Structure 1
């Protein structure tokens, strides 16, 4: 029987993004070479909830022993081959409690952390590396407080995990948004229309700001600053009428809110275990209002609208260069921390340098666009100034 230096568990939680598999690959390669065994926990926190801690029970559906061959095949691809979920063990609905725990947890909402801790002990996990956004990592912080040795890796297309300038998935999202926006221009220009594109961004507008800054759109509206539909319409109509092909583009964050109607736009009433309803529909509302209001600013002539929600097109498929390189560095940085037994940490990028910060940053602060530094509310576009000594993606997570 092989003797290991220890066992490292790795999991991915929340939405999929390109770059997760390269991160898993980097962790696994380095860990194996340092003498560790690596377990991939399937479906995020769900794998540690659903596992039956009994050596006579097959738990391969919840845990996968990782080796170089497995992670090599997956490492060039998008998504997460160990799968993901939005399970929150501290707030598990009664209907989600697995059968073997139902006599133990019978409330409408249950904190099954004791069962998670038992499963971590059963698997012999010495260090846990969760990869996720602030929801997934907030539960990682809970486990750290319970004594589990956690080193976390930030992942989210919205780039809104506090404590780091960069989260895995953001660059590919921005790249795809720019590409798809430029692709849609041909239709908008052909019909001389306004183009409304809804992008991800529940609380933070980075995924609308950076493509706009890169020239993909004339204007953007973001969650951090409610906007006036009349003002947006006036600006876009003027942009359109100045353009030789008579069209203009606005990027709309899914969490953006109108001054005239400040309610957020949701697809339905159902909430996930982190209390979030699925956003979607603000682009439809903006498009309808632009069509309705446009004649006021266009000599009485209505302007039609092309309306597109990018959705999963920006989070599927293979990672770009940055989302191949940064996950490699983050995975190795996580092993550096483990080798020096520095836990309760979040690997990070700050002003172009790799580092780590205390994990509790994910529960103690929020990361959003600094309106004063980076956004012009009166122009509904980013500020194009003060770039000296700014990081690659301009908008930082200052601590």
Structure 2
């Protein structure tokens, strides 16, 4: 193998740049050429591809977002779009590809593998919803962004004696809500992996109010539903002054944490090592702090889960 490509796809996440840097420099260290594919699968189809040198990835390890940019591409879901992408890879002499992204990105990687094109996936998403790895690139940074925001909201909640509902991202996964809610001592955490009872939430808020509790924090994962609607129901049923904050895309930005930079560097380099060993059709990950890889098919067929003991603990500590 002489030449590999790298692209980032889907939603950006802090640490993607560190992963790109690791892929490029690890490959060059082993005398491989690396080509960056800009704007994800859309750029692949359009041939927006450039050779990357050591200096191309200088001064990016600390930056959020992705220097390769990203885009969602409906055309690549079609056979015609996939063949256009493979044609571009062959045109540039790229013999294997590293794809950095989440579930949708891995679906695209799977299609390339099915067409006989060597591809490895690196999990990069703030949602932490990829089976086969304990953590995805960007989750830790987003988590700390959420925690910082909730800390600030708690200050004003205390001052005004209000109930605050905070909606966080995560798509269909509750990791951001669960981890941030436990870290910030939220009274209630609503996640898509667990059912909830509004009557129980209301009863808990009233019990707290009766014993003199002046404010409450409720964290809602976006996969559960609208934080605004939940906030309305709470105010209607408790007559407590309630405010809603939807954190939105602030959670995707910012300089990656040390954990995300190191994780991205390890996974990026590991992906290159596996390609050099002839491995393909796999995703890399980390389990119990050890680098691992799994078939992409296997990862996509498994369902994301949360730690039920962790969820139970959050309820026990919020009595």
Structure 2 length as normaliser, TM-score?
0.94
**Match runs of 1:112-127 below 5 Å:** 112-127=81-96
Shift of 1:28: 0.7
Map of 2:229 onto structure 1: 285
- Tell me how far apart the structure 2 counterparts of residues 325 and 216 of structure 1 sit (CA, whole Å): 28
Map of 1:36 onto structure 2: 32
- In the alignment, does 2:135 pair up with 1:135? no
Shift of 1:319: 0.2
Paired residue secondary structure (2:35): strand
> Residue 181 of structure 1 contacts residue 216 of structure 1 at CA under 8 Å; is this kept in 2?
no
Paired residue secondary structure (1:159): coil
**Match runs of 1:66-215 below 5 Å:** 66-91=52-77, 111-215=80-184
Say which one has the larger Rg: 1
- In the alignment, does 2:23 pair up with 1:27? yes
Deviations 1:159-186 (A, max 9, x none): 0011111100100111111111001111
Higher helix share: 2
**Match runs of 1:329-344 below 5 Å:** 329-344=266-281
- Tell me how far apart the structure 2 counterparts of residues 69 and 340 of structure 1 sit (CA, whole Å): 26
For residue 304 of structure 1, the aligned residue among 219, 241, 251 is 241
> Once structures 1 and 2 are overlaid, which stretch shifts more, 356-365 or 155-164?
356-365
Paired residue secondary structure (2:266): helix
Shift of 1:43: 0.7
Paired residue secondary structure (1:290): helix
**Match runs of 1:292-371 below 5 Å:** 292-294=236-238, 302-371=239-308
Deviations 1:190-233 (A, max 9, x none): 11010110001221111111112223422200011232222212
- Tell me how far apart the structure 1 counterparts of residues 53 and 211 of structure 2 sit (CA, whole Å): 58
> Residue 134 of structure 1 contacts residue 362 of structure 1 at CA under 8 Å; is this kept in 2?
no
Deviations 1:329-349 (A, max 9, x none): 001111110121111111111
Paired residue secondary structure (2:293): strand
Question: Runs of 5+ in structure 2 lacking a partner?
Answer: none
- Tell me how far apart the structure 1 counterparts of residues 155 and 162 of structure 2 sit (CA, whole Å): 10
Structure 1 length as normaliser, TM-score?
0.76
Shift of 1:31: 0.7
Shift of 1:370: 4.8
Cα RMSD (Å) of the superposition? 1.8
> Residue 374 of structure 1 contacts residue 383 of structure 1 at CA under 8 Å; is this kept in 2?
no
- Tell me how far apart the structure 1 counterparts of residues 182 and 262 of structure 2 sit (CA, whole Å): 23
- Tell me how far apart the structure 1 counterparts of residues 69 and 158 of structure 2 sit (CA, whole Å): 40
- Tell me how far apart the structure 1 counterparts of residues 208 and 41 of structure 2 sit (CA, whole Å): 47
Question: Runs of 5+ in structure 1 lacking a partner?
Answer: 52-61, 93-109, 257-264, 266-281, 295-301, 385-399
Map of 1:7 onto structure 2: 3
Map of 2:14 onto structure 1: 18
Deviations 1:237-273 (A, max 9, x none): 33355466x10101100011xxxxxxxx5xxxxxxxx
- Tell me how far apart the structure 1 counterparts of residues 209 and 45 of structure 2 sit (CA, whole Å): 54
Shift of 1:306: 2.0
> Residue 150 of structure 2 contacts residue 184 of structure 2 at CA under 8 Å; is this kept in 1?
no
Greater relative contact order, per chain length (Cα 8 Å cut-off, separation 6+): 2
> Residue 163 of structure 2 contacts residue 215 of structure 2 at CA under 8 Å; is this kept in 1?
yes
Paired residue secondary structure (2:136): coil
Shift of 1:356: 1.1
Shift of 1:350: 1.0
> Residue 208 of structure 1 contacts residue 221 of structure 1 at CA under 8 Å; is this kept in 2?
yes
Query: Judging changes above 3 Å, is the alpha-carbon distance between structure 1 residues 382 and 16 closer, same or farther for their aligned structure 2 residues?
Result: farther
- Tell me how far apart the structure 2 counterparts of residues 243 and 15 of structure 1 sit (CA, whole Å): 43
For residue 251 of structure 1, the aligned residue among 219, 222, 229 is 219
Give aligned pairs, total.
Answer: 317
